[in-house]
Chain A
Amino acid sequence: MHDHGPHDDHDHDHDHGDPHAPQKDHDAGPASPYEVLEQAIRELLIERGVLTAAEISAQIDVVDSRSAELGAKVIARAWVDPDFKQRLIADTRKALLELGIDIGTIAEFRVVESTPQLHNVVVCTLCSCYPKMLLGIPPAWYKSLAYRARTVREPRAVLAEFGVTVPKDVAVRVHDSTADLRYVVLPARPAGTEGWTEQQLAAIVTRDCMIGTALPKVEAGHA
């Protein structure tokens, strides 16, 4: 029997008809047509002097540096500072600059506020428009046909599958962001978080809370 290395710490009685799903190497197999296209265009842009390799690399770093933690920081600030919240809703771009966050020039952003009477949820039926500069790369399900098709026509059923049951007297407002604006949900601050620090508050604001498919959980802040 060959050496299992890192596998040694679990019982390996089973043969390899075992239940785990087949794992593929990330770049196994030939490049897809889109990968070939991306590489061709990238090389042409560099060759023609439109962009440098360093600029492309720097932009990849910018995108990678964005994650939902950034969005959570913004939401926490809005919860503790009502004036900032008003500015954030009125002019999202400008208010984010106060926190040193530049959303770039690709799209405008809007923050939409949920309240005990209103639940906001965001979808893009066209493709996958998403506030990347605040939330990072979107989850795969956000781009799935099922999420896109169903969220507009049966949002309550979709939300229930995410574990969010919205009472019938609370309005569900779907934002289909197919144009030039990207939407971020400002969830209602949950009861039981009085006196919390911004850092504690940010810890309970997940990516899904800002898409509208989850609600902040107070227990998460006590962990």
Chain B
Amino acid sequence: MTRSADPRMEQRFKIGDRVRVDGRGSLGHCRTPSYLRGQTGTVVGVHGVFRDPEVLAYNRPGYPARVLYKVRFAQSEVWKRYAGAAVDQIEVDVYENWLLPAPVRTSAKPRAARKGS
């Protein structure tokens, strides 16, 4: 069982927090999709604590375990030439060791295609 409810595990982020996916590269088995590296999104769920797949993949016990978050991104921000609608989203589960705090969005940067219907 990969889920372990370890109460000692500190949870760095909470629902509603803005987070940025670390832009670092990776070698070997990694669950963080490359298209999300460096992208900023919002935590919409906290799934609990899971053993680290990046070491589990190499037959190691998988500790320290990682808090796993559900993070929502705006498609129009993830893809430069996104052809869908401004309301479209993508949600991905990201382990805490790939997330950095991001500043709350200010009004400085107008979002593309905000108007729409």
Binding site for B on A (CB under 8 A): 105, 107-108, 125-126, 152-157, 168-181
Contact = CB atoms under 8 A, between A and B. Distances in A.
18 contacts: A105-B2, A108-B3, A152-B33, A152-B35, A154-B84, A155-B75, A168-B85, A168-B116, A168-B117, A169-B117, A173-B89, A178-B31, A178-B92, A178-B93, A179-B50, A179-B53, A179-B93, A179-B95
B63 interface: no
Top 7 A-B residue pairs of the complex, sorted by shortest distance between their CB atoms: A179-B93, A171-B87, A174-B90, A105-B1, A168-B85, A176-B92, A156-B84
B10 interface: no
B90 A179 contact: no
B79 A153 contact: yes
Nearest to A169: B117
B31 A172 contact: no
B83 A156 contact: yes
B56 to A, nearest CB: 10
Interface string B43-81: 000011010010000000000000010000001000100
A176 B31 CA distance: 10
A126 B85 contact: no
A152 B50 contact: no
A173 B91 contact: yes
Nearest to A173: B89
Contacts of B1: 105
Contacts of B117: 168-169
Interface of B: 1-3, 31-33, 35, 47-48, 50, 53, 68, 75, 79, 82-85, 87-95, 116-117
B116 A152 contact: no
Nearest to A183: B91
Contacts of B53: 179-180
A153 B32 CA distance: 16
Contacts of A154: 82-84
Contacts of A174: 75, 88-91
A180 B50 contact: yes
Given A179-B93, A180-B50, 15 more contacts: A125-B35, A152-B35, A152-B90, A153-B79, A153-B82, A154-B82, A168-B85, A171-B87, A174-B88, A175-B91, A176-B91, A176-B92, A179-B53, A179-B92, A181-B93
A172 B84 contact: yes
Contact of A173 (B47, B88, B95): B88
Contacts of A170: 85, 87
B31 A179 contact: yes
Nearest to A117: B87
A59 B24 CA distance: 40
